[in-house]
Amino acid sequence: MQGISARATELDRGDPLASFRDRFTLAEGLLYLDGNSLGRLPKETIRRIRQVVEHEWASELVLGWDHWLDTGLRIGDSLAPLIGANPGEVAVCDQTSINLYKLASAAMDATGRPNIVTDAGNFPSDRYVLASVAERSGGELILAPEDGTVSDLAPLINDTTALVSLSHVSYRSGTLADGAAITQLAHDGGAMMLWDLAHSAGSVPVHLSAWDADMAVGCTYKYLNAGPGAPGFLYVRRDLHDTLTQPITGWFGHRDQFGFTASWQPAPDIRRFLVGTPPIVSMVGVEVGVAISAEAGIDEIRRKSIELTSLFIEGVAPLAEHGVEIVTPMEGARRGSHVTLRHADGVQITAALRSAGVIPDFRAPDLIRFGFAPLYTSYQEVARAVGILTELIETGSYRSFDERRGRVT
């Protein structure tokens, strides 16, 4: 323990991203390790939202749409380099679940095949939406084992497969998928590839163009710190813009939005994947969050993320003798930015941690996730969290906490 604490001090001292912590509002007394679920609030977001509400909305009213209209495309262009995409290929719009529905449906129409392949550990909303889309095409959702690798997936992909859709970083184990190899595998089988970047955007470099990925979706309120419920994003590779169409044919996707014509005609570019009026106030959070991540640089963020998660893993390893299993891959290159521990008393341990001011989250039935956000998590915080967790597990003090999980975990 002593060793980790001393090293944390050392690492903080040499941290090139240390100054970014001051750009965020730090909730008093909270050792926050849940930035993988909801990122912290950038101070700049407070200032910019005030400005948009008090000046743009208040005084421009509907005239504001002259410059608000393309907000989602403009922020999409800023986000593109963080995920290895080109300008014009990314739009910030709707929620991740909705974007997934739109793009998965587009793939079914484009390939004319009935089935979708994902893995059993994919996020529930993804599994539910993909199952619904496949069933509507007369097919089914086929599940590879959790954290499916190329060899798990290969036997499941054939000429009935329209789409392979996976999370790049697993929300459960934090396992990082091989983007290039799996995309290639899908294409070899004549299927399209749709990545969910919810836990990757702003934490792990993604190379959508280099992988030749067809489509992607993701969240902005996690590592991009855009705020609760902030809109998600979608990516569609440029050469597919002419042919893919999506089922929610709203006016923002129309080639002549203000022509008010009788029927829907898709816009010739990424706009065809938009639906309706964007939430301009929430968009401000996305704009600021993306700008901060871009300024820090995704490679620097990744370097620190691996250091943070390595320090935590090293610190909790001795808890194995108390039944704590590290679910996340030990090899830095194979994981994202959270570390998941499994323990039979996970509900109580999570409750005890929260009562001690440490905020991880819990994923039923027995997983505790600790998220490390390189822009604001310090190495000292990692060392302190390890100390508190060790204490409450070694003493068994967590056992006095309620065994029932709350509604939000």
Residues in contact with ligand PLP by CB under 6 A are 95-97, 123, 125-126, 167, 171, 196, 198-199, 219, 232
CB of 186 to ligand PLP, least distance (A): 18
Q: Which of 123, 171, 233, 379 is catalytic?
A: 123
Q: Which amino acid is at 372?
A: F
Q: Give the closest residue to 26 by CA, choosing from 373, 404, 393, 390.
A: 373
The residues, any chain, with a CB within 8 Å of residue 270's CB and separated by 6 or more, are 73, 76, 88, 89, 90, 91, 236, 241
Cα separation values, 232 from 100, 127, 360, 368, Å:
10, 18, 23, 25
CB of 262 to ligand PLP, least distance (A): 32
The question of whether 366 is a catalytic residue gets the answer no
Q: Which of 34, 369, 372, 398 is catalytic?
A: 369
CB of 163 to ligand PLP, least distance (A): 16
Q: Which of 102, 222, 237, 304 is catalytic?
A: 222
| Comparison of 125 and 265: residue with beta carbon closer to ligand PLP | 125
The question of whether 221 is a catalytic residue gets the answer yes
CB of 13 to ligand PLP, least distance (A): 33
| Comparison of 101 and 379: residue with beta carbon closer to ligand PLP | 101
| Comparison of 233 and 376: residue with beta carbon closer to ligand PLP | 233
State how far the Cα of 343 lies from the Cα of 152, in Å rounded to an integer: 27
Helix/strand/coil for 331: coil
Q: What backbone torsions phi and psi does residue 67 show, to the nearest 5 degrees?
A: -110, -10
The residues, any chain, with a CB within 8 Å of residue 157's CB and separated by 6 or more, are 117, 164, 185, 186, 188, 189, 191
| Comparison of 198 and 301: residue with beta carbon closer to ligand PLP | 198
| Comparison of 232 and 266: residue with beta carbon closer to ligand PLP | 232
Q: Which of 32, 171, 221, 362 is catalytic?
A: 221
Q: Give the closest residue to 305 by CA, choosing from 368, 385, 205, 372.
A: 372
CB of 338 to ligand PLP, least distance (A): 10
Q: What is the dihedral of CA 38, 96, 264, 90, to 10 degrees?
A: 80
Do 266 and 321 form a contact (C-beta atoms < 8 A)?
no
Do 217 and 100 form a contact (C-beta atoms < 8 A)?
yes
Burial group, residue 32, by CB count within 10 angstroms (0-12, 13-18, 19+): buried
| Comparison of 125 and 184: residue with beta carbon closer to ligand PLP | 125
CA angle 268, 75, 126 (to 5 degrees): 80
The question of whether 260 is a catalytic residue gets the answer no
CB of 1 to ligand PLP, least distance (A): 32
Q: Which of 119, 147, 196, 361 is catalytic?
A: 196
Active-site residues, by number, are 123, 196, 221-222, 369
